[in-house]
A and B are shown apart, each in its own frame.
Chain A
Amino acid sequence: MSTDDLANELTRRTENAPQELLTRAFFFFCAVLSIVTTVAIIVLLTTEAAKFFSLTASLLGVEGQTVSLVDFFTGTTWQTSTGEYGVLPLVAGTLMVVIGSAIIALPLGVGTAIYLSEYASPRLRSKLKPALEILAGIPTVVYGFFALIYITPALGTVLPDIAFFNMASAAIVVGIMIIPMVASISEDAMSAVPDELREAGYGLGATKFDVSAGVVVPAAASGIFSSFILALSRAIGETMAVTIAAGSQARFLNPIDPTAYLEGAMPMTAAMIQLLTGDITGGGLAYRSLFAIGLTLFAITLLMNVISDLVAARYREEYE
């Protein structure tokens, strides 16, 4: 190698060497793919849902049966065989799952988080946190079967007039399912509270309970609140457990009425599965109604995730 070659070799700019450009292009492509996924979801859901509604179907030049926006959002009957597509019974079913699971999961999840973050010894915590993760990793179809075989009969011994498919067991099992999510996000928020605050509390003579409830929980409130929203958004999107446990009868129940939980109903996600396991023909009205429900579901969960992000960003206490 002559000196010229050597000088070239040593002063060569590598930033735009083919190897660098190729790898950078690959990584960039990967990152762009996630945007493409989101765009694909939105475009697909809106175009198919637009073909479903009479208001927008003509704009896309789609012939055939459609449903008016008013009928969809205010109709109280969901009966695809007679062409009645009112989404309210499904939304009511989803709301019941959310209310029921919130009653189960929010107190238990926060309680678990307080125990893990404030009371448990480090050794116990290192055992319990993986256990929570494993609970979070159990498939939802297993939870659904668990509700059907164990929770419903157990409820039946207390409340004899409970139906075989009922909202109560669906809500309870979804509640159990989202406990790990509430617990682990809340625990992260509580662990981030600096020890000085706790020590200040103890210095004033507070008990461990006073410090946990009066200092740590308020200081971690934004994290706890965003854990609630994320967990409930998961409860809304939860599909298999409610499909198996709540049955496939779309009834319009009152979510505030406790006795309504003894009956079966059909949340939005369960309705989608029921449409698919029934005989839907590709491109028909039932097929498009699937995307209309999907769009509603996507919009609700997206909104909740955005709210959770905003709450976490707006009310986060910065500790140095």
Chain B
Amino acid sequence: MPSRVISPAGSARHLASIAIVFLDVLPPLVWLGYVLALALPLAASVAIERVDRQLPFLARFGLLAALLVASLLFVPGVVTSMPTVPTGSIIVAVTLGGPIAAIVGRFAAGRLENRRTGLAVGGGSFLAVLGAAFLGSSVGLAALPATILTSVSLVPAAAYVLVVAIDRPGRRIGLLLPAVVFGGALLGAVVVDAMNFAGPNSWIDWGFLTGVHNSSSAAAAGFYPVIGGSIILMVIVAVLAFPLGVGTAVYLEEYAPDNRFTRIIDVNISNLAGVPSVVYGLLGLGLFITYLGESPGTALVGGATLGLLILPIVIISAREAIRSVPDSMRQASYGMGATRWQTVKNVVLPEAFPGILTGTILAIGRAIGETAPLVVVGLPSVIYSLPTDLSSSVGAMPMQIYAWASLYAGPGFYNSAVPAGVVVLLVVLLAMNSVAIALRNRYQREN
């Protein structure tokens, strides 16, 4: 199934774009802390796997879980309080450029079937990113943007061009297309600038995307804290709802005996999916804020409420994906002596993964667009900064749009800031939904 293999260059780009979002939301030092905190247990698990394969499962599991918790608890704190720290651009060059160089190197080695060239390409990529980190400020860009730009855009593109040019001489002509498109756009921008053409005066400009709310002037109002807030909420929702939703689906499809309790769970989930979103808001308000004593409007409360809201949707779509895995594959796995968990892990989940992913993306898109539960759990309608941790206040794009359309109602906001916010929100949602739908169509056609 060659088409199932996602190209390494493409995955490097995806990885990088996700990483950029995080880098913008987190300061580089905090980012370094979390990267190290996740990298240490990963390295330990690889090491254990290499050294001793006979270790009992429970011991290995407990060790790694303890290591992960300890590392997440302590490493970020230790890193942020270190007396001497590398500059932001060096941190980014190592943590972002390093993995990208590794992926690019593997891609080159795989396509050219030559390890040494792959190593050279990977090493060259890393050196280029490091160079950008040191020299970025001397070419007119700040060091941090130069590093990110190099590692995310220049290095993968250059490596791809190089590999195609060496590997498939007949296809070199195809490389002209992106060059022509990009060059044309650049040329157009230069011509418009030089001849002073009047273009459309868009409300969505750099100032809108990077500015903060301004209650006196719609023209000066910005969307930045709520874009970041929505992204943070999205991550919390995904982290909470994905494992729980997939776990429930696996239980119901693979483990559950056919008894009354299972049927109750089944009916219960389909009814939960029909509960109005504002009632989930009341659940969050009553449970998290009144009874558990969290303060209103924090990232954790908002994310957990939205997570509960989409949990039934994730469960239902994951069940459908798991059900569509043919029974013959499960039986083949059992026939080879695999246990139930091994069958789930090695056969069912990988096979159902595209479907599960599609359902989860659609559900997270729904969570990002929800406003009512966030109003109920007390997210602030005006916020000027991004949250620094899970228990500080967070904004969300639909909340800001609602605030502009209600609290600041008037022609100024109606005609400028609200539509601009709506367009940004819709672009994000349509992008997510089209990725999900494209993913599903691609895998449906294969099956």
Contacts and interface: CB of A to CB of B under 8 A. Distances in A.
A140 interface: yes
Contacts of A44: 282-283, 286-287
A230 B273 CA distance: 11
A27 B250 contact: yes
A159 interface: no
A22 interface: yes
Given A244-B406, A269-B372, A142 B426 contact: yes
Interface residues of A, number: 68
Given A19-B341, A20-B339, A142-B401, A237 B279 contact: yes
B442 interface: no
Contact of B425 (A32, A142, A237): A142
B132 interface: no
Nearest to B264: A35
Interface stretch (B53-61, B93-101, B142-150): B53-61
Interface string B277-318: 111101100110010000000000000000010011001000
Interface residues of B, number: 72
Contact of B265 (A34, A236, A283): A34
A305 B429 contact: no
A187 interface: no
Interface in A150-186: none
B271 A302 contact: yes
Interface stretch (B109-117, B161-169, B187-195, B363-371): B363-371
Interface string A13-27: 011011110111011
A133 B433 contact: yes
Interface stretch (B33-41, B205-213, B251-259): B251-259
Mostly, the B contact residues are helix
A182 to B, nearest CB: 15
A29 B274 CA distance: 22
Given A40-B283, A142-B422, A34 B272 contact: yes
Nearest to B245: A30
Contacts of A305: 270-271, 274
A37 interface: yes
Nearest to B56: A18
Interface stretch (A65-73, A84-92, A113-121, A291-299): A291-299
Contacts of A41: 275, 279-280, 282-283
A272 B376 contact: yes
A48 B286 contact: yes
Contacts of B286: 44-45, 48, 291
7 contacts: A19-B339, A31-B248, A44-B282, A137-B362, A145-B418, A244-B405, A276-B375
Given A34-B268, A141-B371, A272-B376, 13 more contacts: A23-B341, A24-B255, A30-B245, A31-B252, A33-B244, A34-B312, A41-B280, A45-B279, A137-B366, A142-B369, A236-B276, A239-B278, A273-B372
User: Which 10 pairs show the lowest CB-CB distances between chains A and B?
Assistant: A237-B276, A139-B369, A30-B247, A27-B251, A239-B372, A44-B286, A305-B274, A30-B248, A31-B251, A19-B57
